[in-house]
Chains A and B, each alone.
Chain A
């Protein structure tokens, strides 16, 4: 059955229950306007939903009820018991139809015309319509037509049959004879009991709606907290059990059971709080429809992954931001139909909403095919509003400019429209998403649309975190911010961590990673936060590579413990102003540990600043484009981007440049560690064999068309002036290949202008980089040639062995 209909059934049953109770309350106190108002609203809701979902008969009956109620509400009629009776008949009829909808998907065959007529008569002030004994609080004789129209099963629900055991009752096979005597019992049951019985769904109805119950969220929260406690207690018990006497198998067994039960319980508890994102998205079509009517635009909505589940609290937190972004897309993004036709676009705009899980997070994307965001206009507005200086604007890339929409006080709307610009800006969207540990990003393709991308944690209560130690105290770092852990040992660490005018940086995949010393950042140790002590013989440096926004940085910590699931507790109010702290948790040994806020830490240490930075140079490649729109945008950006190049000094002293994105790693290998087999240079690289290739030799031979198997000159070994060689690892999967160089010159970021024909056959082009003639290597080509040579070589060897 349609999800909408299911929800409608659940809700409407609740409404009917409530109406019944309220009608009875109204009968007791006919002056209560609150109760009357509530009945009216509930009927209105039923009518609206029924008509929307295409149940005309249900709609008709509830409409009749509603109009009678509106007379009462407006004071044109007085509440009489007869009216109450009539209304109760309406609720009964509603129930009948609900059951019909539940079992057949249609609202039955009966039009309930006589009931509607009676309600109309009541409405125009006629009395004596319902029954002679109209004072009876329950369904009287006159109701019989209604009862007759009810499917037989329903008949059983009449008051006289309300026994102590309703379950047994509902299993009785219906007997027609009951109908005659059922409707009116002289000794009427108390009203609430009647209503209870009436509310009970028809027998045999394993109504899907009944398999769910509504639970107070407060109760769920309390249970969740208790489960959290249980998890902690379990951890403590496990710790005790593991250290205590091994001779007590009973304890060990019990502990294991406790462990598995707790885990299951925790998972189950988490699930109770998970809800599909549909619950938030459902309101979008309505919002869009209203906007379209207001503006005359035409927008179609496409949704994907509506079933993606999120914790309820998270869901609530993203509701307003999403609505706001949808509004923005329709109001600012999609053009008027005439304009779209002029532009050669379909008249109807498209708003694509997607959600999917990825690595413990939920991604949500909102894409429209409207006009996109004009970076120039954004800049102009930002300057007008004093957010930006003109000179800053001129240096800004389009992408950065588009990001300005997240600045406080920013609005692109030339005039404040009715729809957008009502208090909530994109800055509020950003801050509310960030407050739940998510991030928001915008991409725009001018003229073709824009895409908003949200990344949101699944749940706020339990967090996967890495436990680290700083100054003997444990801290938890949310796993979502974690990229990689690097451990450097001994003096070698010193060569990899360099000083850049007072701040330490680490060469991370060829890019400079700013280093942050956690002990110093937290004030546990004196000294500059971005410096670490010079490594010595025995030093071990643990770097936790973290991601804040799109910026990466390396956090140097004393010790790395292990990843754990922790239960997040809010900090006391007194501590909420401390930026790098996100919360607290209780560890297995019962001690409190603090949870670090990676964003806060990045801001505190100036890794992230408010000033616009070249975030693209530090961004990691996580924006795997999901849709064509995003692809087009990404392509455009690629064109704009200057290239990042790693410049190396080759063995012959010439300069070679390699596009940085193709560099996996730079390794310094001692010449003595290189081994030679059949003319191959080989080195141990993370437990696999790395084939070493000297690009100069390889390519010069390629140029001359001569495929000699000299991959790496063993003569290098004898050259004692360079005890170590620098190897640029270009491929890690399949067969790892490392290009051998004399040393690293620089990492540059430039727009490369080819100045001449490639000097070597395997290079893309030659260019002047930093005043030196440099060959830009075509890595694909180099690897291809290297592969061919390995193949030739090994087949040659095989041939040699065979002959």
Chain B
């Protein structure tokens, strides 16, 4: 993960509301659109649904909900970023895919201390692009969070821990 912070890194970027988010391209397996989504009843809102990715059943995570934005509605036209994880693949629901961006490590800055709560876990930091900040996500913490809380319906919007 360090390599993404020092030197040059390629980030796969995508949009969610007016945020520009990025993930290390090495973690991104592919990008999907318009997958038929199976709703998982009784799951936490963080679980958007399940998709069939060439015979593999893959979890779709509502990234907006993770970041404290409004959860994407179920019939939302889904755009998915499939990420590799130890437990097979998982996917993040996003609004739209943007470019692959090459970033310099000196443009990176950690989030300020004023950012607290869950957002701090999920956002590794920001690259200062000329026009906008590019927030780099920490996929492991997102997956951990989903693993721990995916089954609990009554999920408080902000983790007390």
Q: Which residue of chain B is the closest to A589 with respect to CB atoms?
A: B36
- A594 neighbours in B (Cβ, 8 Å): 38, 40-41, 50
Structural contact, B47 and A574, CB atoms closer than 8 A: yes
Contact A591 B38 (CB under 8 A): yes
Query: Does A389 touch B at the CB level, under 8 Å?
Result: no
For the complex, is A572 an interface residue (Cβ under 8 Å from B)? yes
Q: Name the CB-closest residue of B to A591.
A: B36
**A591-B52, A592-B50 in contact; A578/B59 too (CB < 8 A)?**
no
Total A-B contacts with CB atoms under 8 angstroms apart: 73
Q: Is A581 at the interface (CB under 8 A from chain B)?
A: yes
- In the bound complex, how far is the Cα of B114 from the Cα of A743, in angstroms? 74
Q: Is the beta-carbon distance between B151 and A572 smaller than 8 angstroms?
A: no
A590 touches B87 (CB 8 A): no
In the assembled complex, the CB of A468 is this many whole angstroms from the nearest CB of chain B, namely: 13
Which residues on B sit within 8 Å (CB–CB) of A574? 43, 47, 59, 146-151
Residues 138-154 of B, flagged 1 when their CB comes within 8 A of A and 0 if not, give 00000000111111110
Contact with A along B63-80 (1 / 0, CB 8 A): 000000000000000000
Task: Assess whether B42 is in contact with A522, with CB atoms less than 8 Å apart.
Answer: yes
Taking the complex as formed, is B16 at the interface, i.e. its CB lies under 8 A from any CB of chain A?
A: no
Contact of B41 among A524, A572, A591 (CB under 8 A): A524
Per-residue CB contact flags for chain A residues 759-770 toward chain B (1 = under 8 Å, else 0) read 000000000000
Proximity bits, A70-113, B CB within 8 Å = 1, else 0: 00000000000000000000000000000000000000000000
Is the CB–CB distance between B87 and A572 below 8 Å?
A: yes
| A592 with B43: CB separation less than 8 A | no
Chain A residues positioned under 8 Å from B51 (CB to CB): 592
Partner of B59, one of A523, A575, A579: A575
| In the bound complex, CA of A584 to CA of B87 (Å) | 16
> Which A residues from 680 to 706 make CB contacts under 8 A with B?
none
For A229, the chain B residues whose CB sits under 8 A away are: 55
Contact assessment for B55 and A578 in the assembled complex, using a CB-CB cutoff below 8 Å: no
B50→A232 contact, CB < 8 A = no
What residues on A are CB-neighbors of B147 within 8 Å? Answer: 573-574
Closest to B90 in A: A572
Closest to B40 in A: A575
Known pairs A524-B41, A574-B151, A592-B51; A584 contacts B57 (CB<8 A): yes
Instruction: Please tell me if A316 contacts chain B, counting CB pairs below 8 Å.
Output: no
Bound complex: CA A580 to CA B39 (Å)? 14
Residues on B with beta carbons closer than 8 Å to the beta carbon of A581: 40-42
Asked if residues A592 and B42 are in contact (CB atoms below 8 Å), the reply is no
Q: Is A179 an interface residue (CB 8 A)?
A: no
Residues of A within 8 A of B39 (CB): 473
Q: Which residues of A contact B151 (CB under 8 A)?
A: 574-578
- 29 contacts across the A-B interface (CB closer than 8 A): A229-B55, A522-B42, A569-B57, A572-B50, A572-B57, A572-B59, A572-B87, A572-B90, A573-B87, A573-B147, A573-B150, A574-B43, A574-B146, A574-B147, A574-B149, A575-B43, A575-B47, A575-B59, A577-B151, A577-B152, A578-B43, A579-B42, A580-B41, A584-B57, A586-B52, A586-B55, A586-B57, A590-B52, A592-B52
A→B interface (CB under 8 Å): 229, 232, 473, 522-524, 569, 572-581, 584, 586, 590-594
The 7 closest A-B pairs by CB, nearest first: A577-B151, A574-B150, A522-B41, A592-B38, A592-B50, A572-B59, A229-B55
Chain B residues at the A interface, C-beta cutoff of 8 Å:
36, 38-43, 47, 50-52, 55, 57, 59, 87-88, 90, 146-153
